[in-house]
Each structure stands twice: as C-alpha cells, then as structure tokens.
Amino acid sequence: MTQDAIEQAWDAVVGTARRTVTDGLVVGTSGNVSARVGDLVLVTPSGVPYDRLTPADLVAVDLDGTRIRGRLAPTSELPMHLEIYRRTTARAVVHTHAVHATAVSALVTELPLIHYMAAALGGPVRVAPYALYGTEELAAHVLRALDGRTGCLLRNHGTVTYGDDLDQAYDRTAQLEWMCRVWLTASSVPGLAPSLLSAAELDEVAEKFRGYGRPR
C-alpha cells in the first residue's frame, strides 16, 4: 500500500462525500463515506463540512477502529462502517439521510418491489430496526439487514450501501433513493395501489443481470 494509493483514496472519499451534499442526499455534516485500502479504512471525520476537507484532514483507522492517521475524530458511525468491512466484501461504504429513503424507512419493514433495480442490491431492500446512531447495536441491525444485500434502509434514519469501489457504492445509494421516491409517488395516488413485482420476476431480473455485466 503506497502513500499515493492512500491519497487517491482520500480524494475519492472527499469527492463522494461532497457529491452526497450536491445531490441532496445529506444536509450539513450528516451522513458519512469510507473506503478500504488494504487494512486501513479512510473515513470522513465527525462534524466537519465536506467542502472544508483538505488532504491534511485525512482520517484512517484499522479494522479494530484504532486511529492510525489523522488528527480529527472519525465519524460517529464508525462502528457501522467497520462491521460492514469486517463481515462483507465491501471496499467502500456510503451512508446518507436521503429524504425519500428515510421517509420509507418510517413506513415499512421492507421496500415494496416497485422496480426491478432492487435486484441490483441483491433483492428486496430491508429496513434495519431503529437504534441510537453510532452504536454497536445499530451496526448489528444493519449487518443483519444487509445479509445477501448490498444496501438497506435504517429505520427513521437513512440508507447505507456498499460496493467494490466508491462509484458503485454511491450509484447503489442513488438507485435506492430513486426507488423509494418512485414507491412513495405511486402509493400516494388516492384510490389506487401500485403494482409490485413478484419474487419470481425479481429472480428473473437477477439472472439477466448476471449475464449483463456489473449492475451499479
């Protein structure tokens, strides 16, 4: 692992964090982004506006959460990020407080199958039960909701997705927010209920994706 690789990964973390603000997925310093480089996890710091982050603000921890580099405290959601890295193949994690996804998380225990892109996240998107932010309890809830999935909702909180890189993790976040918006829009029409896909229809999509390339 070279210094250049770490610096490039940090640039990508900062760029992705700023994108969450630009695209309206977070407000202020809410949400957080991380990337794994070898045995290090580069993560956004706590309480610092993303537009103020510089190369000197790099924060890196090991998989036990010990700070290896940087002077700033890592995000309060570090337990959730680390548990995902320890238990999955994740190389990048994006957590947001996206409006439509957060609204859906307060209504259902699983996002209804409103669109076939749920297959790109591994199947029906679950809602992790509520727990105080930044706790090991929340991290455990999230890990269970992610079983066989690459994204989930957090009850009354937001979203978390992971991927092989930050682009993939971010694309999955954006896709999840879009699906939540579609379901909320369709279900808000008086007197009508949206049609939903069956599990068999979603399985058919998942099979087609396997021959299509990497869904993002």
77 is a catalytic site residue = yes
Query: What is the end-to-end Cα distance of the chain in Å, rounded?
Result: 26
Selected residue with higher pLDDT from 134 and 210: 134
pLDDT at 3 over 90: no
Q: Model confidence over 63-121: pLDDT tens digits?
A: 999 999 999 999 999 999 999 999 999 999 999 999 999 999 999 999 999 999 999 99
When pLDDT is cut at 50, 70 and 90, the band that residue 213 belongs to is: low
Q: Model confidence over 141-170: pLDDT tens digits?
A: 999 999 999 999 999 999 999 999 999 999
Phi-psi group of 123: left, alpha or beta (phi > 0 → left; psi -120 to 50 → alpha; rest → beta): left
Assigned token pair, 150: 């690459």
Q: How many helices (H) and strands (E) does the chain have?
A: 6, 8
Q: Which residue has the tokens 């900062």?
A: 14
Catalytic residue chosen out of the listed positions 77, 136, 137, 201: 77
pLDDT score, position 186: 97
pLDDT score, position 1: 64
Q: Model confidence over 13-38: pLDDT tens digits?
A: 999 999 999 999 999 889 999 999 99
pLDDT score, position 119: 97
Cβ atoms of 153 and 128 within 8 Å: the answer is: yes
Give the pTM.
0.95
Domain 3-210: which CATH class?
alpha beta
pLDDT score, position 215: 47
Q: Domain boundaries in the chain?
A: 3-210
Cβ atoms of 96 and 32 within 8 Å: the answer is: no
